[in-house]
Every structure is written in C-alpha cells, then in structure tokens.
Amino acid sequence: MKNMIPTAKKLIVGVVAVGALSVGAAGIAGAATTGTSSVTPARVQSFNCANAPKVLARIQKAEGDIANGLPKLTAAQAKAAAAGRTKTAARLQRRITRLESPAFKARLDRATAAIDAKCNVSAPGATS
C-alpha cells in the first residue's frame, strides 16, 4: 500500500508532463504556420457554393433581427438605467454599441460580398 501512492503520483506527473509537451509542440507548430499571409479568410476559401443561398438568407435575417431588436434593446437599457440597475444598463449599452458599430456591419457586408464574388449568387430578395 505504501508503494501505491508514489506510483500513482508518478503516473499523474507523467500524464501531466506528456500533456504539457504535446500542447507546447502544437503551440510551436501553430506559431510556425502563422508566417504566411492570405487575403481571403480560410472559411471563404473552403466555402461550398451550394450553401450560398442559405448563408445569404441567414445573413439577411440577422441584419433584419438587428434592425428590429435595436429599439427594444435601447428601451430596455433606458428602463434599466431609470431603475438604477447600472450593471444591466451597461451590459445592454455594450451590446447596442457593438451591434451599431461599423465594423460589425462591415463584417456582414464583407461576408455577403465574398459569397457573391465566389459563387455569383446574390442575396435572396435582392435585385441584380
């Protein structure tokens, strides 16, 4: 029984060491591959054009949900601020700021443009 505990400790230390070494090697391999630069993101390069209408419809739905949800978020933020719930009001304000940011809208527009350029498919309901 006395030898069992040191053996278990050795086994656990060995497993932890192997895990640390494998994560370290993956980190080095990952760092070595970041030297190459690509203009298009990897997701767009492997995009299947058969899914283009579905993805474009999802992007349009998200844009519509954002447009419809912003007034509700603004009202909820004002209500929380009036009630003195500062943490909730701050969280809602961060979300409103993020959804209204040009970078967020540009990311959706870039995805739509990339799909349109690669697959020659326009957004559903859009006129070409």
Read off the pLDDT band of 22 (50, 70, 90): low
Read off the pLDDT band of 38 (50, 70, 90): very low
Tokens standing for residue 103: 């970078």
Give the pLDDT score at 128. 46
Segment 62-103, tens digit of pLDDT:
888 988 999 999 999 999 999 999 999 999 999 999 988 899
Mean pLDDT score, 16-34 = 58
Q: What is the DSSP string of 23-41?
A: HHHHHHHHHHHTT---SS-
> How far apart are the C-alpha atoms of 88 and 90, rounded to whole Å?
5
Residues 67-71: contacts with CB under 8 Å, at least 24 apart: 69/99, 70/96, 70/99, 70/100
Q: Hey, where are the domains in the chain?
A: 1-37, 40-128
